[in-house]
Amino acid sequence: MTRRARGGLGAGMRTARAVAAGLIVWTIAPGVPSAGASPPAPAVPAVAAVRAQDRPPIGAGALSVRITGLTPAIPGPEDTLVVQGTITATGATPAADVRAVLRVSATALTSRAEIPEVLAGLGDRTGEPVPGAEVDVAATLLPGASASFRLEVAVADLGLTDTGVYVTGIEALASTGAGSVRQDLDRTFLPWWPPDPAAQPLLLTTLWPLTAPPAQDLAGVLLDDGVPVAMSPNGRLDTLVDALIAEPGAVTPVVDPMAVQLAASASAGYQVLGPDGSPVAGTRSREVGAWLDTLREVVTERPDDAVAMLYGGADVMAARHGRLLTRLLGQAPVIDEGTRAALGVELPQRLVVVPGGAADERLLRTLARTATEAVVLADTAVPVARPTFFTPSGNLLIGTDAGEVPVLATDSGLAAALAMPMQSPDQVTVARQRLLAETLATVTELPETQRLLVMAPDGSWEPSAQGAAMVLDVVAGSPWVRPTPLPAALAREPSSVARTLAPYGPEQRAGELPRAHVDEVRGQYAGLRAYGEVVSEPEDLGDVARTAPSRCLSGWLRTDAQGRRALTERVSTQVGALGSSVRIVSSGSITVAGATGTIPVTVENAGTVPVTVGLTMTAAPRQLFTAEPVEPFRIDPQRRTSVEVTAQVAAAGPIPVTIQLTSASGRPFGEPGELTVQSSAYASAARILVRVALAALLLAVVVHGVRRARRRRAATVPPAPSREATEVLRG
């Protein structure tokens, strides 16, 4: 059976609809337990939603009651409502005469803020008992024991009148010695949509995330098998894509280019780090290929519905603060081409999903200058300027100095519903009824005005198969909801409700990728750019290597400190190894024969691709040594090449000379080498000068000695008498 047939069959098993009667009959299919993701803060004042299992008891507390099933999810006037559940004795003494009683509120919800209150066990909407809608559960229930119940009642007997969301619940009654009293009350929501309601349906744009954490290093080796497992049957990504097949057109697939490009390469074989840190062959290529084929089918059949997000769900705010946003956005052409090759259709990155849902004006101003189709923010990041009694549309324009930016504000109430656990049937039932309540309550806030909401699960959303199918059923099968693809949402007139951009403060900044991490990624970009300039054929470097720093900026790494360190350290080490793989081997000293001579220089390429480098030789001061730059030359991988450099030496030396490799454009590359140069001609001349000097010195010594000897002899001979003295002697 093909993936397509399997998905269609699953849809048929899960859903049978009678839209005219407003009926959804949903049969639970087996799925994989999974945890939901944390939602952004609610846009309306509300108590944080909790799981029904976590709420406090509403009553004396000797029993705990939980609703595990409610059908039909959207009842019609002629239907029979079936409520199933369990009652557990939680007290220290036995509970007697245990009964389950159905209660329904007399009026519909007036505000969406009541929804999380009800789920948290708060508020005063306890409803009224429905006459005749009760069932005996157990005569006695011992501490820790549980009993199940099934209660049926005609919808016509519930007293539903106006269109809207009614709170319904099961009250557990029992006696622990002081008479029959309420021990607990479990509540959920019952939507009521009469055959001819006077209300405009809600437009709902659902962004269906097909994303994955960064897993590849510079060479394309996977750090773990998590992504292939997610793409395998019953994995997270497999579940999400299968749901798309079952309900084509209900939601907008948001494709992460990183995920589909990884799938394209891994489907032909991949390597993953083994326990000892060395690469081993992966074992899920076939499963990854099947997943990619299914996604190709989805995108090809409805190419206008799908959209690509920024590569890896990049942390654009951290990139902007680290002065890397322009470089990140500049990789769009190579990334978009990789996505086209993987999917077979053009799917450029036009949607910027901001991690954390908050942004500042400078980011929006930068994106306004690009081809960005829309920016996805949380509704709390763009609050209304003045309070309203209704939920405004989620498509809007934010003005910047560079122009207006289309923004999709994701609805916090819907996000909180999607974040609820969906592992078991009772959990899926609670989440389903909340989704129905959130959407219908929005309609009844302003029934005559049609509005648009944006529902966007977190990128790490991991529902079970039954949970994903349920969400698609709600979107495609609720009679008050009109599934609206992203292009239609953006073509719609923007909301006229004035909004402001919330301040981006220290709390939001603290959620970004750490500054030290971003600085390290900047070094990766610089190292790859330098190495890319010396690679002989640019395609030899490979897209998976060029985009490695961008993977290290993935928003997935915000909350995964261990994965962040592992990936970034490995990529940084690999980038450093590329830079040092091309190096100058020559060192030591060399003597040239004359004032002009040739100096051999050897360069090694220890890498796996050919490189082309030139080199320069300089000395300080420059007057002592000059050499013409060497034109770029090619070095094959795992080879050494020697070149002869003609140089002029103007001194006897030794002269320290710096050898610098350069790219074809003349940029310095790698660490410089050192060489000591001297000239034999200047050395001979120096020896002659020394000899002449010694001879001159010897001659001077001899002359000086002769003169001194003469002076000594002259001093020992008496002087001749003068004429006057002679005359005196004669007289």
Question: Nearest to residue 221, comparing CAs of 275, 175, 176, 282?
Answer: 282
Give me the pLDDT at residue 35, please.
34
Strand, coil or helix: what is 207?
strand
Note whether 587 and 640 are same-domain residues.
yes
Strands 128-141 and 481-483: unpaired
Give me the pLDDT at residue 425, please.
85
Give me the pLDDT at residue 706, please.
64
CATH of the domain at 101: 2.60.40.10
Q: What is the 3-state secondary structure (H, E, C) of 142-194?
A: CCCCEEEEEEEEEHHHCCCCCCEEEEEEEEEEEECCCCEEEEEEEEEEEEECC
Answer yes or no: is 292 within a domain. no
Taking residues 100-121, report their average pLDDT. 95
Residues whose CB falls within 8 Å of the CB of residue 693, separated by 6 or more in sequence, listed in order = none
**pTM for this predicted structure:** 0.84
Strand ranges of the sheet holding 611-619, from the earlier edge strand across to the other edge? 589-592, 668-679, 655-662, 611-619, 630-635
Give me the pLDDT at residue 196, please.
84
Give me the pLDDT at residue 55, please.
86
Strands 15-18 and 23-26: antiparallel
Note whether 642 and 526 are same-domain residues.
no
| Reduced DSSP (H G I as helix, E B as strand, rest coil) percent helix, strand, coil of the chain, to 5 | 35, 30, 35
* Lowest model confidence (mean pLDDT) among 333-337, 550-554, 676-680: 676-680
Report yes or no: 432 and 418 within 8 Å, Cβ to Cβ: no
Answer yes or no: is 296 within a domain. no
User: Over the chain, what is the mean pLDDT?
Assistant: 87
Asked whether residue 635 carries a pLDDT value surpassing 80, the answer given is: yes
Note whether 409 and 558 are same-domain residues.
no
Strand, coil or helix: what is 67?
strand
Note whether 387 and 473 are same-domain residues.
yes
Question: Nearest to residue 487, comparing CAs of 670, 720, 263, 252?
Answer: 252
Answer yes or no: is 589 within a domain. yes
Give me the pLDDT at residue 23, please.
28
Give me the pLDDT at residue 714, please.
59
Strands 128-141 and 95-104: antiparallel
Give me the pLDDT at residue 7, please.
32
Note whether 112 and 179 are same-domain residues.
yes
Report yes or no: 370 and 349 within 8 Å, Cβ to Cβ: no
Note whether 487 and 350 are same-domain residues.
yes
Answer yes or no: is 181 within a domain. yes
Among 485, 506, 527, the domain-final residue is 506
Confidence of residue 53 (pLDDT cuts 50, 70, 90): low
Note whether 478 and 381 are same-domain residues.
yes
Neighbouring C-alpha atoms within 13 Å toward the C-beta of 543 = 18
The residue assigned the tokens 């140069």 is 677
Give me the pLDDT at residue 400, please.
93
Note whether 558 and 590 are same-domain residues.
no
More confident residue, 440 or 697: 440
Q: Domain count of the chain?
A: 4
Note whether 554 and 663 are same-domain residues.
no
Confidence of residue 592 (pLDDT cuts 50, 70, 90): confident
* Lowest model confidence (mean pLDDT) among 166-180, 342-356, 687-701, 705-719: 687-701
Find the domain containing 374 and state its range: 202-215+251-258+302-506
Note whether 309 and 345 are same-domain residues.
yes
Answer yes or no: is 16 within a domain. no
Asked whether residue 505 carries a pLDDT value surpassing 50, the answer given is: yes
Answer yes or no: is 177 within a domain. yes
CATH of the domain at 449: 3.20.110.20
Answer yes or no: is 242 within a domain. no
Note whether 87 and 188 are same-domain residues.
yes
Answer yes or no: is 287 within a domain. no
Note whether 524 and 641 are same-domain residues.
no
Return the percentage of the chain with pLDDT > 90, whole number: 78
Give me the pLDDT at residue 261, please.
97
DSSP letters of 364-376? Answer: HHHHHTTT--EEE
